[in-house]
Every structure is written in structure tokens, then in C-alpha cells.
Structure 1
């Protein structure tokens, strides 16, 4: 009995194998499954989001926060503890003379206190706004040597060269320029930092941290 079962089982397996071996390997894809057109991908080439690199600052929009982070990246790559070869300090590269105008006299304490550095930056913006308030009203919206003058560009340039030098540049319509030890000019900063909204910080006369 067992031999019969084994025989018929083997016979059935053989028939199944033969039936499949008769199929052609060149099968035809049904028309409904054919792909006739390219499919859309998730990110088109012109919309692909690129990963940020160390060479470019994070884009935070045209707000005051975006302005100060872009300026900090230019000054120190955003490093609170940076000191350059001329002795300028911190994330925003302040000189000690400017810090003393705002009530900061200890450079070591300043360099090791990020909160104090942020307060100093906002205080200095308020101070420069007050000093340049008439020039802001007069020159914003005008063009000097092809560069549109904006409030944020003026304040960034004042951070570089001091408000007095920026006013000399504007009032001379570009004839009196300024260049720092590393080659940065007022024109560079007027261009690079134009168009930010700095209305969050109000002008103040002789503000202290």
C-alpha cells in the first residue's frame, strides 16, 4: 500500500514539473500593467532641499533674529568664545572701547557670558539707531553707487565701522569709505545685510546693558 502511495505521489510531482517546464520564459506584460510615461518623483530637481554646509549661515528669514545671526556668522561663524588677531571679542566681535560705552568693562567676563553678549548686541543696535536716526530717515530707500540703502544695511555697517564712519560715507555719497584690517568695507555690509526688519529694536540714547 505504501509503495502505491509513494508511486502516485511521485507521478503527480513529475506531471506538475513537466507542465511548468512547458511554459515560455518570454512572458508578455499585460497592457494594464505597462508603464508608458515617467512617474513624478517626490522632489523635483529644482525643489530638492539641500543639506546646509558650514560655508553658509542658517537662513532664518528677514527678521531681527535672522539679521543678528547672519551678522554673527560673518563676524565669528557664530562662536561666542572667538577672539580675533586684533582683540575683538565674542560672537559679534566687539571691541572693548565699544563695550565700555555700554557699561561692560571686563573682557573675560564678557567673552564667557553668551547672554551678556546677546544683550550687548541689542543694546549697541539701539545706540546706533539713535545716533544715526536722522540719516536713517534721510537715506533709506536711496541708492549710492548702485547700492540701495536700508536700515539694516546701515546698522550692520555701523557694527563694522562705527556709526560716525557710516554717516560720513552716506553724506559724501560714497566718496569717503572705510575698510577694516581684513578688507571688509561699508559697501560690503550695506549690500550683504540689506532688507532685514530691525523694527523690533527701538533707538535709545546712551543705553546700558
Structure 2
């Protein structure tokens, strides 16, 4: 999934309160607001929606942590600042900036429905990540713990890099010891994603060669 330049940002409707998510990254600490009206963000992680029940008229500060939820929200912020409604200048879609061919791979054929259905976007991200985890299963086993180009390789870094460049490019990178790299049109590299999104626990994501949205 190549990096893209964004055209616009917009507010996101969610449940009945304002939730302010805080992230820590290498570059900065940042906060961004979700307007919470009738929408639950936590489609793929059970029980976390309980954190905001009864939170009307309050600011809630959930700790996203270093699991799947923290991973996907950090990656989404990098891709689109977490905006489900983004379509960039190259036609990449939604919170996780999918192209149409990748969406078809995970069973999404109606891009209008996709753009208007945050739950579908979340399911598509999980399905694609599950597929990439299967494709890269041997490389994950062989490479995690190694240091390549000064970056410690982790499972989450590998899966983030696969979202950036596709799993094939990540295989070439790992099997060449970092000699065969990748950078997108804006100069974002596999090394950068490996480092930026390293160290998350991805045990929630199961390997699934044929993963699709329901």
C-alpha cells in the first residue's frame, strides 16, 4: 500500500461523547478529536467500546497501548490522520488508504459503500493484514529479532511495511538483508515503517490466506 498525499481532513462521527486519542511517536505527541455520535470505532477489538459508554459530555482518554488497536490507529493516523472520508489525489480510499484492487482482494467491490461504512473499512484492514501475515509467515519467523539497516525487525513493523509497499516488496527487503528496498513517491521507505510501527503485539491478527470481509 503506497504512501499518498492527502487532499483534505474532516471530522468523524462516532458515539455520544468526544474522545481524544493520544499517541506517542518518535516525531511528536499529538491529539486528535473524534465527534462521537452513533458510531463505535472498536469494531475489531472486543469490549473496548465499553470505555466510552455513559461518557456523554465528557472527554475520555483511552490508552491505546501496544496491541492491535494501538497499531491500527497509529498506522491510520500516518495514512490519513484517521479520516474515513479521505480520497487522495491518486484515488486511494479511506482511513487506511486502500486502492481498489486491494479492496477487491478482500471482498469489497462497492467503493461508495466502503467510503460510507467505517465498519467495513475496519474489517477490510483486518482482512488485508491477516492475508499479509499469512503471506509473510516464514519471513516473520526468520526475521523477527534481526537488525537490518539499523532497525530491529518486529512482526508489527513487517506488517506495517506490507501495508505501505505490499508483501512482495517486504519479502525482497527481508531476504536481501535490506539491500533491496522500496520507497514511495514521497520518499517513505520500508525502513521507516519498520521502525515507526515496530514493537506492537499482533497476536490478535490471525494468519488467513483467504481472509475477506463478511
Q: TM-score range by the shorter chain?
A: 0.7 to 0.9
Q: 2:155 & 2:176 partners in 1: Cα distance?
A: 18
* Structure 1 unmatched runs, 5+: 1-50
Q: 2:77 & 2:30 partners in 1: Cα distance?
A: 8
Greater RCO (Cα-Cα under 8 Å, separation 6 or more) = 2
Q: TM-score, normalised to structure 1's length?
A: 0.72
Q: 1:185 & 1:111 partners in 2: Cα distance?
A: 27
* Structure 2 unmatched runs, 5+: 1-20, 33-62
Q: In the TM superposition, what is the alpha-carbon distance from 1:63 to its structure 2 partner?
A: 1.0
- SS at structure 2 position matched to 1:56: strand
Q: In the TM superposition, what is the alpha-carbon distance from 1:56 to its structure 2 partner?
A: 2.2
Question: Between Structure 1 and Structure 2, which shows a larger proportion of helix residues?
Answer: 1
> Higher Cα Rg: structure 1 or 2?
1
1:122 paired to 2:96:
no
In structure 2, the residue matched to 1:32 is none
C-alpha contact 2:149 2:191 (8 A) present in aligned 1:
no
Give the count of matched residue pairs: 159
Q: TM-score, normalised to structure 2's length?
A: 0.71
In the TM superposition, 1:20-31 aligns within 5 A as: none
In structure 1, the residue matched to 2:168 is 164
Question: Between Structure 1 and Structure 2, which shows a larger proportion of strand residues?
Answer: 2
Q: 1:73 & 1:99 partners in 2: Cα distance?
A: 20
In structure 1, the residue matched to 2:99 is 95
